[in-house]
């Protein structure tokens, strides 16, 4: 049941606990406040008292839940949750439903991160992986897209760098958000301007260290080991005009052992990527 709730609400385990706690405390506060208010009326308990009590807690519940959600850090979730309920009750969302966010995944290689992202959002109600963009013929990610029934777009460098950056195709597919998952080309300025703070990337090291042009894959892990670092990890960040430079959204770490190799460190990094990237994407889209 809890796993289904995590997938439905696109939250991690800690946030799920805080959300459930907010529901419980908000409901209790609502019931307490309703009884106190009715006591001031001097009414005896009876049919009228019950009717008024039901009306009161219906009106008080959103206020109480929002109040409790603030110290628990869940105000953003509950403000959207209550707005959605109100929309359904008022009939405003009955025809159109919640806005669908359509994602394009840009990838260059085997697509292991792309696979995890596709799996994560497969059953999502308002988030859809609409397009896979790739710059390498025969890349594994193209097969992943085909098996998932997701259209793919193979791009060439000149048009991407100094042409229209394939914006017409992205607009045709109504892409709202771009996720880089092992995409090795630098994003052109025109694309960044078209999607301000709507392009994110994952880097296999703890930025600002070991980033920049040419720092990808095993080259990053070799540099980390050569520098005798005791920790490495992943960085999820917004994309700007400079390689691996945009605002950091999330980082996770792992230990680098004395006998570590680039291959063994890569395995640790993959575990962090697969565990965190889809979840962080969902959290960013909830903001």
Catalytic residue among 203, 221, 237, 245: 203
DSSP helix/strand/coil, 100: coil
d(CA 133, CA 282) in angstroms, rounded, equals 20
Of 268, 260, 112, nearest to 205 (Cα)?
268
Question: Has 203 been annotated as catalytic?
Answer: yes
d(CA 8, CA 5) in angstroms, rounded, equals 5
Q: Is the dihedral of CA 117, 122, 127, 128 positive or negative?
A: positive
Question: 46: which 2 tokens?
Answer: 């009876």
Q: For the chain, how far is it from start to end, CA to CA, in angstroms?
A: 25
Q: Which segments of 128-194 does DSSP mark as H helices, in order?
A: 140-148, 157-162, 167-172, 189-194
Residues carrying an active site annotation: 203
């Amino acid at each position: 049941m809890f796993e289904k709730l995590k997938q439905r609400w696109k939250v991690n385990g800690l946030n799920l606990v805080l959300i459930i706690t907010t529901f419980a405390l908000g409901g209790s506060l609502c019931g307490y406040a309703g009884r106190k208010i009715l006591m001031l009326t001097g009414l005896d308990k009876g049919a009228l008292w019950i009717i008024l009590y039901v009306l009161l807690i219906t009106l008080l519940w959103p206020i109480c839940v929002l109040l409790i959600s603030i110290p628990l850090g869940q105000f953003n979730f509950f403000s959207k949750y209550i707005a959605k309920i109100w929309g359904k009750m008022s009939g405003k969302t009955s025809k159109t439903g919640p806005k669908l966010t359509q994602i394009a995944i840009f990838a260059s290689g085997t697509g292991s991160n792309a696979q995890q992202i596709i799996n994560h959002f497969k059953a999502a109600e308002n988030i859809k992986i609409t397009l896979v963009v790739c710059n390498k013929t025969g890349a594994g990610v193209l097969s992943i897209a085909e098996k998932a029934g997701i259209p793919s777009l193979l791009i060439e460098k000149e048009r991407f760098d100094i042409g229209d950056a394939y914006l017409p195709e992205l607009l045709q597919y109504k892409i709202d958000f771009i996720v880089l998952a092992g995409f090795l080309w630098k994003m052109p300025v025109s694309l960044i301007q078209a999607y301000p703070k709507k392009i994110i990337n994952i880097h296999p090291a703890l930025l600002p260290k070991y980033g920049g042009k040419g720092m990808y894959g095993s080259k990053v892990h070799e540099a980390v080991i050569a520098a005798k670092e005791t920790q490495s990890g992943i960085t999820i960040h917004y994309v700007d005009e400079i390689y691996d430079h945009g605002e950091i959204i999330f980082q996770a770490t792992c230990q680098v052992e004395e006998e570590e190799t680039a291959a063994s460190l890569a395995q640790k990094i993959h575990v962090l990527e697969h565990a965190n990237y889809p979840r962080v994407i969902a959290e960013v889209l909830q903001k």
